[in-house]
Each structure stands twice: as structure tokens, then as C-alpha cells.
Amino acid sequence: MPLDDKAEISPFRTGLACACPRRGEGKLYSGLLDVAPKCTVCGLDYAGHDAGDGPAVFVILILGFVMVGLAAWLELTFHPPLCLHAVLWFPLILMGSVGLLRVFKATLIALQFRHQA
């Protein structure tokens, strides 16, 4: 398959897969949230692609809305002790934040690549 920057690859699909925005293959990250220097499959340089603070804003708003709603429902329905809230919500918020940050950051990078921003 020739390298074609104009290929119609969904930025949302590549963002969900955390893959290279050019071909939808390869890894975008070299660590948990660190963007790799370049694609291992096609060699696309990721140096010019930066999502900035945009993904964090989306994650805070979406995850905050969901978690506060669930915590309020749990409190009003079962009245658990505060220590149960801490044990339950801290890991869920931490895992949800990292998971959503990976996906949203990859999606915004893929959208930047597609629109040549």
C-alpha cells in the first residue's frame, strides 16, 4: 500500500485505536501518554503534532459529569460510608482519566493531521 497522506482514514477510528493518523497502523504512544517520536510502520514524524490541553478539558467535563452523577446516585440510594466512596471512586476516576486521555489525545492528533493544522 503506497503512502498517501490524503487517504480517507477516519480520525475517530485511529484515535480510538491510538494508531498512526496517516495509515491507521502502528503505535502513536511510546508510553502511557507520551507520543512516540515517529511511526514504526510508515515513519511519520510526530514532532509537529501536539494536542495541547484540549483532551484534558474534554476528559474533565465528560468524566466529571458521569462520576459525580454515579456518586450522587450511590449516596442517595444506598448511603454508604465515606471510606467506601474513596475506595470506589478514586481508582475509577484515575483509570477513566488515563484511558480517556489516551483516546482523546490520539483523536485530536489524528484530526490535526487530517486537516493539516
**CB under 8 Å to 96, separation ≥6 — which residues?**
63, 66, 67
Confidence of residue 4 (pLDDT cuts 50, 70, 90): low
> Which amino acid, residue 21?
P
Which cell numbers in the block locate residue 53? 490541553
Band of the pLDDT at 8, cuts 50, 70, 90?
A: confident
pLDDT one-digit tens code per residue, 49-74: 888 899 999 999 999 999 999 999 99
Please give the pLDDT value at position 46.
92
C-alpha to C-alpha distance for 3 and 73, rounded to whole angstroms = 50
Residue 96 contacts residue 67 (beta carbons within 8 Å): yes
> What does the pLDDT look like over 29-44, one tens digit per residue?
999 999 999 999 999 9
Asked whether residue 3 carries a pLDDT value surpassing 60, the answer given is no
